[in-house]
Amino acid sequence: MSIAVLRQMFEQMVEKKDPTSIDRFYHPSFMMSSNGINQDIEEFAESHRTIYATPIRYSVEYDEQAWIETADKVAGRVWITTSSPGESTNRIEVVLIAAFTDGRISRLWETTCPSWNELPAFETYMSDT
| Percent helix, strand and coil across the chain, each to the nearest 5 | 30, 40, 30
pTM comes to: 0.88
What pLDDT is attached to residue 3? 96
Evaluate the omega torsion of the peptide bond into residue 114 and state whether it is cis, within 30 degrees of 0: yes
CATH number at residue 34: 3.10.450.50
| 128 found inside a domain | no
The CA distance from 47 to 68, in Å, is 28
Q: What is the pLDDT of residues 103-112, one digit of tens each?
A: 999 999 999 9
Q: Name the residue range of residue 85's domain.
A: 2-122
Q: Compute the distance between CA of residue 23 and CA of residue 46 in angstroms, rounded to an integer.
A: 12
In a domain, 60, yes or no: yes
| Residue 127, in any domain of the structure | no
Which of 49, 123, 63, 69 lies closest to 91, judged by CA? 63
C-alpha radius of gyration, the chain, whole number? 14
pLDDT tens digits, 33-89: 999 899 999 999 999 999 899 999 999 999 999 999 999 999 999 999 999 898 889
Number of structural domains (the chain) is 1
Three-class SS state of 2: helix
Tell me the per-residue pLDDT of 74-116, one tens digit each, with 9 for 90 and over.
Answer: 999 999 999 989 888 999 999 999 999 999 999 999 999 988 7
**94: in domain:** yes
